[in-house]
Structure 1
Amino acid sequence: MKKRKLKPNYSCFAAPHPTVVAGTFVNNKATYTTLGDFGILCAYPLHIYIASVHTHYLNIGIKENMTFSVNIPNPDNLEKTDYVGIVSGHKTDKSKVFDYFVGDLESVPMIKEFPITMECEVHDIKRVGRNDVFMAKVINIYAGEEFLEDGEINMDKVNPITLFMDLSYRTIGKTVGISYQVGRNFKPKP
């Protein structure tokens, strides 16, 4: 396959990003924004990051409380998910968009109607380009009972949304293999 060099550009990044809605409180009101910049920093103990443009309203509450939620939507939640990413919390009160509950931290609004929610405690903040990157320990994960199978989250039931850099939302699709298993069948050339 012949390759052509392209300039680094966000829209060229072909891999999907998990679509999440981050939540926090600002002035005692819940606020949310949709993010595609989310990932795992460490699996054991579970630490994650979210990245949000430094001028976003959400960042005010995260810096004030040093906590936030990560809420995993599915296609049933797509319209509201996109809405909280379109409007600015500086101009729009997003506190009534979702019903929420609080967990052990008591400073994190977690969205009731989303399949999976996480309450997170910030341990570090870094500026990378125009983003604040919030690195946090996951304190608790909550999942709707209808998305569990034998006490574990069933991702086929969750059907999470991803964001591609062509700005399309997509679902993940079917399982094609199990990590750390499928490669055991490979035999390198001698």
Structure 2
Amino acid sequence: MEKVSLGAKSMTLPTPAWLIGTYDADGKPNLMTAAWGGICCSKPVCMTVSLQKPRYSYAAIMERKAFTINVAAEADVAKVDYCGIVSGKNADKFAVCGYTAVKSELVDAPYVAECPLTVECKLIHVQDLGQHTMFVGEVLDVKVDGACMKDGKPDAAAIKPIIFAPEDRHYYGLGRDLGLAFSIGKELK
């Protein structure tokens, strides 16, 4: 099948639709939606999120040296979108969204009680990449709602994370289960 060249674009599928939790200089909890992020190291466990310098959360991460990654469920897609289009300078996003800010005991950042999955990160590296700055956070804890666990592990089908497609600017949910990783490929050996 012939490929169509799209040129250099900030595109891969899927990208996350994360709510990044921070405290501003006055200690007010804030959220912003971020799609540029992912796992970057297994040992120590680290995750990245990349933000532009003018973003309100940028200064908060630089000052507090911490952030949380909150994975909202599909039912909260409008709230996730709202947190990406309104600045924390002008709104209390926790209040508008009806979210509860929980003070992390491990990092200087809040997390969202209502999100089924939260990752608490201590900032360990900052890399200016151009238009964005990449923040590398060491994961100190992952919290998952008990109702979203299956056989002692997080259940993606129960969490129902939101994913983002940068090119068409739409949010999507997960598709069907395709099979067990590191297993279904064995039939090709």
Fold similarity call, TM over 0.5: yes
Cross-structure match for 1:6: 6
Q: Does residue 168 of structure 2 align to residue 171 of structure 1?
A: no
Is the radius of gyration larger for structure 1 or structure 2? Answer: 1
Unaligned runs of 5+ in 1: none
What is the CA deviation profile of residues 54-104 of structure 1, one whole-angstrom value per residue up to 9, with x for unaligned ones? Answer: 110001110001000000011121111111111012333334242121222
| Contact kept in structure 1, 2:107 and 2:122, CA below 8 Å | no
Cross-structure match for 1:181: 183
Cross-structure match for 2:119: 118
Cross-structure match for 1:23: 21
| Contact kept in structure 2, 1:120 and 1:140, CA below 8 Å | yes
| Contact kept in structure 1, 2:23 and 2:29, CA below 8 Å | yes
CA deviation after TM superposition for structure 1 residue 110, in Å: 0.5
How many angstroms apart in 2 are the aligned matches of 1:6 and 1:77? Answer: 32
CA deviation after TM superposition for structure 1 residue 164, in Å: 0.5
Q: Does residue 46 of structure 2 align to residue 54 of structure 1?
A: no
| Contact kept in structure 2, 1:25 and 1:107, CA below 8 Å | yes
Number of aligned residue pairs: give it: 185
Q: Does residue 92 of structure 2 align to residue 93 of structure 1?
A: yes
How many angstroms apart in 1 are the aligned matches of 2:82 and 2:112? Answer: 15
How many angstroms apart in 2 are the aligned matches of 1:5 and 1:31? Answer: 39
How many angstroms apart in 1 are the aligned matches of 2:186 and 2:149? Answer: 28
| Contact kept in structure 2, 1:52 and 1:132, CA below 8 Å | yes
| Contact kept in structure 2, 1:101 and 1:110, CA below 8 Å | yes
How many angstroms apart in 2 are the aligned matches of 1:182 and 1:173? Answer: 17
How many angstroms apart in 1 are the aligned matches of 2:122 and 2:7? Answer: 36
Cross-structure match for 2:149: 148
Distance of aligned partners of 1:185 and 1:69 in 2 relative to their CA distance in 1, 3 Å threshold: same
The TM-score normalised by the length of structure 2 is: 0.92
How many angstroms apart in 1 are the aligned matches of 2:65 and 2:160? Answer: 30
| Contact kept in structure 2, 1:29 and 1:95, CA below 8 Å | no
Letter in 1 for 2:40: L
Cα RMSD, aligned residues only? 1.5
Cross-structure match for 2:75: 76
Q: Does residue 66 of structure 2 align to residue 64 of structure 1?
A: no
Cross-structure match for 1:37: 36
Percent sequence identity over aligned pairs: 26
Distance of aligned partners of 1:38 and 1:14 in 2 relative to their CA distance in 1, 3 Å threshold: closer
What is the CA deviation profile of residues 40-59 of structure 1, one whole-angstrom value per residue up to 9, with x for unaligned ones? Answer: 01123311000111110001
